[in-house]
């Protein structure tokens, strides 16, 4: 179901396996995100003219539109990569109770 009032955003970011949990913990504790799922991925890309293949973790973060800019800036501050992948996708529907929980979980206590 389409709901244009939904303010939830999914943010995707890859990180080194050794750093993903640290990044996720910071963002949850600071309430910039309600939840972070991590999943192992293998990334292939060209960086500085070289083909690369890295084992990483994909962070799947749930936040709100109001937190998006600050979340991106914070990821850029704490991420070890020079150019980390940070992609935001709008949520166009879902469980109302879950979406409400995401919004409530990103509010200051």
Q: Set out the domains of the chain in order of their start, with CATH numbers.
A: 8-105 (3.30.70.120)
φ/ψ region of 4 (left if φ > 0, alpha if ψ in -120 to 50, else beta) reads alpha
The pLDDT of residue 48 is: 95
For 23-60, the pLDDT digits (tens) are 999 999 999 999 999 999 999 999 999 999 999 999 99
Output helix, strand, coil percentages for the chain, rounded to the nearest 5: 35, 40, 30
pTM for the whole thing? 0.91
How far from 55 is each of 1, 12, 50, CA to CA, in Å? 36, 16, 16
In this structure, the strands spanning 50-64 and 35-47 are antiparallel
Q: Tell me phi and psi for residue 78, to 5 degrees.
A: -100, -5
């Amino acid at each position: 179901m389409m709901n244009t009032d939904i303010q939830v955003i999914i943010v995707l970011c890859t990180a080194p396996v050794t750093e993903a949990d640290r990044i996720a913990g910071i963002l949850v504790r600071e309430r910039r995100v309600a939840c972070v799922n991590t999943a192992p991925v293998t990334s292939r890309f060209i960086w500085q003219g070289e083909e690369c293949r890295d084992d990483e973790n994909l962070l799947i973060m749930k936040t709100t539109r109001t937190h998006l800019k600050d979340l991106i800036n914070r990821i850029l501050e704490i991420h070890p990569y020079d150019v980390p992948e940070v992609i935001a996708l709008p949520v166009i529907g879902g469980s109302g109770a879950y979406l409400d929980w995401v919004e409530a979980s990103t509010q200051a206590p």
